[in-house]
């Protein structure tokens, strides 16, 4: 028997929606207008922490064309307990008595013309009683200024159920992991190294800014929202309203970028409350500037300490990771857990202790961003690795080889490494860098350096995906999934998976976008989970449909494998073109809840793996950084669609390049000073390194659909430390705070030369 | 009280008119009055290129250009590129090179690439990078965008020959 190569798996099938996107016709909520729709414009807090004494909306309300001005008192008439969030019900729909960060929504003006709403919002005034505020996560951990009087945990997700409400603390969650005896490990170590690293606050900056529309009518609400998690939005809105889920409909077309920002619940509660109040559709579209007040990536301080033997074996590691969660928890507690549990790095260390803290501060909320904390932790543990290797006089690749977690070995949580090609990824980067060959280090004022790094991440678990495959009377196929295509190409890849099972062409499948009245539950398009979780659900649903086709053929008296077209079967069955075959499946991976020491044999359904290498050139007289080569390598299991995989790997790497070299939300006196694209620099074409390589290693995720695993985040993990280590190699000193700006590099050069520049 | 003003201009080759407010931008007018969604406002400061359209043959940021000031002019948008069902070579090259992810910035890049190729039919990589650096793609499809521009340049260079052959 001849096995034909698959026409779907491993094929670079163009995006199903390609034509809509190049003609400008693709649907985004950004463009949606509904009859009778009002625009909302938000009036925001000017102080980082204050009690609201009064809000004067009279001038705004008097503007011609203003329909209504709304504060929390109005919201409460339609939502009695107007607090939301995935981990804590801590975020008010509008500021309630207090503001907790500069930029927090305090009131909303509604008008048919968005310019009128904007002008009127500028006429609102608020009087505040200023309160002391806290911005720094380490200071907030000490807890002299409290951001919240009392913590209010939610119970929406299985893995956050144990969170308890607390008072007198800014710590929303303290995650702990213990493996072996870390004190004994340090006691027997030949050398002990301890360093502190910091990562700065940054923002997702999707080109389609946050936008949501709510349309309440006849006891039902329909939300059109740029969301990565329509199922969660429905559940949370239903909870806020006290309505059953079937009265809340959430529709999501294409997203103009998400990157983790458009997850859980953002503007949806506010527009729902507003639409309930005025009984008209209400749209809020944030400006680019306002996006900086919606959600950010956690700033992070990481104290890392390692006990090492003279031969290079790491025998103990202690990690203390402090996450700046901003004023509202969002999904920060889960970032704290998930990035916490891998914060000792992809190394086989007998004795490990990890403490990871989600901390409230008076800054804009921090939530999920591509990598989910792993890039911040890898920044610390991989620079730390190089600093140790330098002290011990060990080759940096060899030092990693000695300690690397090998297949089958337990990670710090006790979960064994399975299908994680750490070794291949490390060797691939070393090869690409010609690591063993001599390296031209430059001369005079131009110095060159090279560096590499490797990292990994666990995947949020347990989470559920449900898929439906619908075959119509003519045999054509539609796929109903809650996965949101925000550019990663999920429509195409999910169609490829279904097509492979049904033995049809992927491009012929219609993928039905998220509409919670139609598409089944999915936990969210996040954390590299869709290809693995939804991909498996789609495979199983297609297999279910296939079994039903075979059963129909048998019922009609056809011999097995008769291969009669489905349309023929339907015709025989119904006497005309009619009927459906519906295949469905639910997928939830095995999971074991960690014990009190964070130990579990099934902490993650798979491992994300990323390695990076960089060659840099530094102008020693200015600190100017030029990245000559940048190599990004991931383990994606089977690459289901190589072109889409490469785009994910290179896109994630370039985004992380921004977070490494230029992007930084700069705060002064509790105020964001650079919240616009004029002052917050994201990568452009000119920031692309001249030689930029994105590749994956030969690998297979046995438990994934056709051997695949997620690919959207892997290359975010190791990039910052690879560049940081390359800079250190060039200038002879390690910079421990991101981003790696020319000024910081120049200061480090001068500091190392014993001629430090005066302070900032 | 501000009042709207009547303007006349040529939109994608057809003469049109519109009542526009003094503060109304080209991108607002195109979206709200002509239902053209390819040019879209993102940064609102003329820094991202998502709203790029051609005004009298030159690329401009539609979010900064006041509609009232284009009276008598010519506006071309991404919607005007297709010839019937036939995509423009630049659009086709963006598909073939996989030069977009979320697609939100794509019409802006395509319009800017049209201008680039009009000025530099055979651009070097440096010319591509510099010409398009004012267009931002947060999905960072930059490697594929460079590939798409090269591909479009090659095909555009071959196209006149093909057309001449077809005519004969």
Q: How many domains does chain B have?
A: 2
- Mapped onto helix, strand or coil, the DSSP state of residue B128 is helix
- Among A308, A375, A393, A300, smallest CA distance to A347 is for A308
CA–CA dist A700, A439 (Å, integer): 34
| Angstroms from A472 CA to nearest CA on chain B | 28
Interface membership of A250 toward B (CB under 8 Å)? no
What parts of chain B have a pLDDT lower than 50? Answer: 162-168
- Domains of chain A with CATH codes: 18-26+463-587 (3.30.365.10), 32-131+204-291 (3.90.1170.50), 372-460+605-752 (3.30.365.10)
CATH code of residue B122: 1.10.150.120
CA–CA dist B128, A339 (Å, integer): 39
Is residue B56 located within the same domain as residue B93? no
A19 interaction partners in chain B (CB closer than 8 Å):
87, 95
H/E stretch holding A387 reads helix A374-392
CB contact under 8 A, B107 and A24: yes
pLDDT value of position A716: 98
Is residue B111 located within the same domain as residue B64? no
A258 interaction partners in chain B (CB closer than 8 Å):
102
Interface of A with B in 648-707 (CB under 8 A): 650-655, 676-678, 682-686, 688, 692, 694
Interface of B with A in 56-85 (CB under 8 A): 77-79, 81-82
Is residue B121 located within the same domain as residue B140? yes
CB-nearest to A677 from B21, B47, B142 is B47
Is residue B73 located within the same domain as residue B94? no
CB contact under 8 A, A206 and B138: yes
Give the CA diameter of chain B: 61
Interface membership of B108 toward A (CB under 8 Å)? no
pLDDT value of position A159: 56
Interface membership of B100 toward A (CB under 8 Å)? yes
Interface membership of B113 toward A (CB under 8 Å)? no
Is residue B125 located within the same domain as residue B68? no
Interface membership of B130 toward A (CB under 8 Å)? yes
Is residue B10 located within the same domain as residue B37? yes
What parts of chain A have a pLDDT lower than 50? Answer: 1-4
CA of A678: which chain B residue's CA is closest? B47
CA–CA dist A590, A461 (Å, integer): 9
**Of B33, B49, B80, which closes a domain?**
B80
CA–CA dist A399, A90 (Å, integer): 45
CB-nearest to B132 from A64, A205, A685 is A685
Tens-place pLDDT, residues A658-683? 999 999 999 999 999 999 999 999 99
Is residue B119 located within the same domain as residue B63? no
Q: What are phi and psi of B65, to 5 degrees?
A: -85, 120
Interface membership of A103 toward B (CB under 8 Å)? no
| Angstroms from A636 CA to nearest CA on chain B | 18
CB contact under 8 A, B103 and A287: no
CA–CA dist A103, A109 (Å, integer): 16
- Among A31, A211, A27, smallest CA distance to B30 is for A31
CB-nearest to B42 from A20, A209, A650 is A209
Cis peptide bond N-terminal to A462, omega within 30: yes
Q: What are phi and psi of A648, to 5 degrees?
A: -65, -45
A209 interaction partners in chain B (CB closer than 8 Å):
42
Please count the residues of chain B.
168
ipTM score assigned to the predicted complex: 0.96
For A219-286, the DSSP string reads TEEEEEE--S-HHHHHHHHHHHHT--GGGEEEE--B-S--TTTT-S-SSHHHHHHHHHHHTS-EEEE-
CATH code of residue B54: 3.10.20.30
CA of A115: which chain B residue's CA is closest? B23
Other beta carbons within 10 angstroms of residue B120's beta carbon come to 14
pLDDT value of position B165: 39
CA of A488: which chain B residue's CA is closest? B101
Is residue B112 located within the same domain as residue B139? yes
pLDDT value of position A158: 58
| Angstroms from B126 CA to nearest CA on chain A | 9
* Residue A690 CA: distances (Å) to CA of A451, A596, A631, A652, B129: 17, 48, 11, 17, 11
pLDDT value of position B160: 60
CA–CA dist A375, A373 (Å, integer): 6
CB-nearest to A25 from B37, B134, B141 is B37
- Among A357, A254, A343, smallest CA distance to A28 is for A254
Interface of A with B in 350-409 (CB under 8 A): none
| Angstroms from A18 CA to nearest CA on chain B | 6
A175 touches A341 (CB < 8 A): yes
Is residue B93 located within the same domain as residue B162? yes
CB-nearest to B105 from A207, A259, A677 is A207
Is residue B153 located within the same domain as residue B98? yes
Which stretches of A514-621 are DSSP H helices?
535-555, 566-574
CA–CA dist B129, A461 (Å, integer): 42
CA of B92: which chain A residue's CA is closest? A22
A63 touches A57 (CB < 8 A): no
**Of B80, B112, B140, which closes a domain?**
B80
A194 touches A303 (CB < 8 A): yes
| Angstroms from B147 CA to nearest CA on chain A | 12
Q: Which one of B49, B92, B138 makes the best mutation probe of the A interface by having the most chain A beta carbons within 10 Å? A: B138
Domain that holds residue B36: 5-80
A363 touches A324 (CB < 8 A): yes
Is residue B157 located within the same domain as residue B102? yes
For A53-105, the DSSP string reads EEEE-HHHHTSTTEEEEE-HHHHHHH-SS-EE-SSBS-EESS--SEE-STT-E
Is residue B60 located within the same domain as residue B125? no
Which stretches of A477-527 are DSSP H helices?
490-502
């Amino acid at each position: 028997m001849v096995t034909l190569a698959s026409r779907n798996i491993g094929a670079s099938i163009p995006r199903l929606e390609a034509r809509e996107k190049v003609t400008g016709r693709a649907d985004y909520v950004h463009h949606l207008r509904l009859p009778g729709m009002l625009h909302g414009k938000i009036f925001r807090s000017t102080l980082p922490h204050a009690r609201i004494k009064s809000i004067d909306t009279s001038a705004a309300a008097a503007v011609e064309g203003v329909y209504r001005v709304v504060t929390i008192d109005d919201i409460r008439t339609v939502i009695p307990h107007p607090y939301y969030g995935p981990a804590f019900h801590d975020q008010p729909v509008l500021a309630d008595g207090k503001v907790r960060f500069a930029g927090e929504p305090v009131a909303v003006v509604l008008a048919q013309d968005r310019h009128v709403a904007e002008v009127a919002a500028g006429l609102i005034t608020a009087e505040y009683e200023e309160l002391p505020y806290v911005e720094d996560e380490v200071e907030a951990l000490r807890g002299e200024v409290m951001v919240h009087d009392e913590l209010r945990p939610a119970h929406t997700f299985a893995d956050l159920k144990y969170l308890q409400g607390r008072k007198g603390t800014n710590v929303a969650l303290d995650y702990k992991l213990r493996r072996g005896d870390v004190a004994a490990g340090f006691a027997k170590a030949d050398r002990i190294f301890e360093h502190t690293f910091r990562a700065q606050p940054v923002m997702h900056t999707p080109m389609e800014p946050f936008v949501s529309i709510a349309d309440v009518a006849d006891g039902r609400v329909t939300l059109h929202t740029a969301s990565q998690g329509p199922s969660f939005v429905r559940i949370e809105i239903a909870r806020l309203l006290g309505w059953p889920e079937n009265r809340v409909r959430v529709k999501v077309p294409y997203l103009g970028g998400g990157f983790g920002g458009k997850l859980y619940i953002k503007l949806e509660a506010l527009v729902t409350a507003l639409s309930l109040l005025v009984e008209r559709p209400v749209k809020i579209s944030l400006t680019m500037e306002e996006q900086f007040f919606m959600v950010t990536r956690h700033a992070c301080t990481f104290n890392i300490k390692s006990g090492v033997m003279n031969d290079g074996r790491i025998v103990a590691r202690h990690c203390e990771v402090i996450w700046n969660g901003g004023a509202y928890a969002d999904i920060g507690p889960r970032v704290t857990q998930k990035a916490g549990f891998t914060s000792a790095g992809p190394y086989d260390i007998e004795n490990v202790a990890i403490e990871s803290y989600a901390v409230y501060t008076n800054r804009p909320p921090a939530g999920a961003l591509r990598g989910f904390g792993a890039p911040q932790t890898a920044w610390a543990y991989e620079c730390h690795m190089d600093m140790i290797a330098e002290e011990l006089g060990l080759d940096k690749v060899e030092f990693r080889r000695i300690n690397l977690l090998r297949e089958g070995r337990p990670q710090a949580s006790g979960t064994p490494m399975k299908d994680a090609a750490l070794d291949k990824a490390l060797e691939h980067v070393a090869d690409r860098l010609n690591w063993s060959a001599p390296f031209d280090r430059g001369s005079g004022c131009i110095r060159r350096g090279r560096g590499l790094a490797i990292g990994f991440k666990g995947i949020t678990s347990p989470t559920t995906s449900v898929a439906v495959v619908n075959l119509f009377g003519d045999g054509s196929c539609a796929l109903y999934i809650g996965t949101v295509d925000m550019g990663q190409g999920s429509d195409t890849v999910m169609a490829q998976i279904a097509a492979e099972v049904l033995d049809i062409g992927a491009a012929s499948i219609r993928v039905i976008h998220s509409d919670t009245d139609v598409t089944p539950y999915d936990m969210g398009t996040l954390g590299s989970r869709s290809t693995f979780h939804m991909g498996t659900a789609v495979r199983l649903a297609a297999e279910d449909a296939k079994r039903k086709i075979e059963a129909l053929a048998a019922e009609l008296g056809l011999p097995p494998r008769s291969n009669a077209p489905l349309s023929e079967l339907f015709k025989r069955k119904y006497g005309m073109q009619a009927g459906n075959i519906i295949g469905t499946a639910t997928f939830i991976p095995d999971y074991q809840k960690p014990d009190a020491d964070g130990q579990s044999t099934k902490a993650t359904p798979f491992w994300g793996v990323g390695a990076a290498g960089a060659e840099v050139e530094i102008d020693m007289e200015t600190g100017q950084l030029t990245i000559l080569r940048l190599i990004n390598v991931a383990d994606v299991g089977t690459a289901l669609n190589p072109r889409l995989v490469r785009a994910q790997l290179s896109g994630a790497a370039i985004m992380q390049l921004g977070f490494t070299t230029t992007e930084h939300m700069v705060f002064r006196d509790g105020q964001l000073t650079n919240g616009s694209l004029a002052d917050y620099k994201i990568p452009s074409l000119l920031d692309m390194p001249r030689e930029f390589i994105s590749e994956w290693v030969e690998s297979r995720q046995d438990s994934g659909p056709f051997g695949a695993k997620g690919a959207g985040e892997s290359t975010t993990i190791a990039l910052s430390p690879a560049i940081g280590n390359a800079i250190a190699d060039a200038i002879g000193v390690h910079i421990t705070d991101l981003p790696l700006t020319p000024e910081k590099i120049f200061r480090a050069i001068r500091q190392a030369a014993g001629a430090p520049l005066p302070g900032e | 009280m501000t009042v709207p003003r009547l303007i006349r201009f040529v939109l994608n080759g057809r003469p049109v008119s519109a009542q526009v407010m003094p503060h109304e931008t080209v991108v607002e007018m195109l979206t709200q009055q002509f239902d053209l969604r390819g040019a879209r406002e993102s940064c609102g400061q003329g820094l991202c290129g998502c709203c790029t359209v051609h005004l009298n043959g030159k690329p401009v940021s539609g979010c900064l250009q006041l509609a009232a000031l284009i009276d008598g002019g010519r506006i071309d948008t991404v919607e005007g590129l297709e010839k019937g069902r036939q995509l423009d070579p630049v659009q086709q090259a963006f598909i073939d090179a996989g030069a977009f992810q979320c697609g939100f910035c794509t019409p802006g890049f395509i319009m800017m690439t049209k201008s680039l190729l009009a000025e530099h039919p055979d651009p070097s990589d440096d010319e591509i990078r510099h010409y398009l650096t004012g267009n931002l793609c947060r999905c960072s499809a930059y490697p594929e965008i460079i590939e798409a521009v090269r591909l479009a340049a090659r095909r555009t260079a071959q196209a006149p020959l093909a057309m001449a052959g077809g005519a004969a």
